Chains A and B, each alone.
Chain A
């Protein structure tokens, strides 16, 4: 049994997101007057071969902290989905 971790890594609010700003301006230029802001993050899928949900969760937290995000400027969140 394994789990697919659907991980989102986003820049902290205090960090200027220049890509998001460029997209926000492009959307406004397209005439979407109600668009207020856009922020860009990363979406990562990782399949983890573990039987126990808790163990998969533990590994997912560990890889997010160690490699997938930089805690100085990013936050992460994830959902785990069971696959067979």
Chain B
């Protein structure tokens, strides 16, 4: 059987694109293909990943310029047709700017760029991105961002809760979602959300950096496993 293609978008300033390519390529039957921001062709990809980095130098606001790049017009159409789109870190910022997900990410509350291991809880394991996790499983996955402080108006937060769209929350090692365990000030300790249709996920932590034991954790791998089993039945 031919390999199933997964597109990894490359914006000028992306810097987790090759890590993501490497993680994706480690799954048998899955072939990563790099998609340049100026192109319009998704090259037959069955899922699209927007990687981390500093697209367009984070000028104006993180993700704001990338959102209007030619490839994003195709990605937005692809997502609206119900195909899977995953945004990691800067990719999450791009998804919010593009309106595929609701809310915004502002500066971390303690002003610092944070690059550290975090513990998260998988609070919705019925999505195509998380069905290989156990409900409320505590995961160790790193973050690396300066603007990861999730904000949305109360009515949006209520709707996210009502429709089980909060997928990952920062928690302590025992799984308690506390303010001390919140690295950046995100409302509801939000680390990742999914759209109401369930085909677009954005998260600040980096699953591709927790995809083999040499990196200290395998907890990000199940996210890719979930997604790839959905698109390829592997």
B111 near A15 (CB under 8 angstroms)? no
Given contacts A70-B97, A72-B151, contact A18 B104 (CB under 8 A): no
B103 near A72 (CB under 8 angstroms)? yes
A60 interface hit (Cβ, 8 Å): no
B111 near A73 (CB under 8 angstroms)? no
Q: How close is B66's CB to chain A, nearest CB, in angstroms?
A: 11
Interface size class on chain B is 20 to 34
A21 near B111 (CB under 8 angstroms)? yes
B217 interface hit (Cβ, 8 Å): no
Contact with A along B177-193 (1 / 0, CB 8 A): 00000000100000000
Partner of A18, one of B108, B151, B152: B108
A67 near B64 (CB under 8 angstroms)? yes
B61 interface hit (Cβ, 8 Å): yes
A68 interface hit (Cβ, 8 Å): yes
Within residues 12 to 30 of chain A, which ones have a CB less than 8 A from any CB in chain B? 15-19, 21-22
Which A residues are within 8 Å of any B CB, using their own CB? 11, 15-19, 21-22, 42, 67-68, 70, 72-73
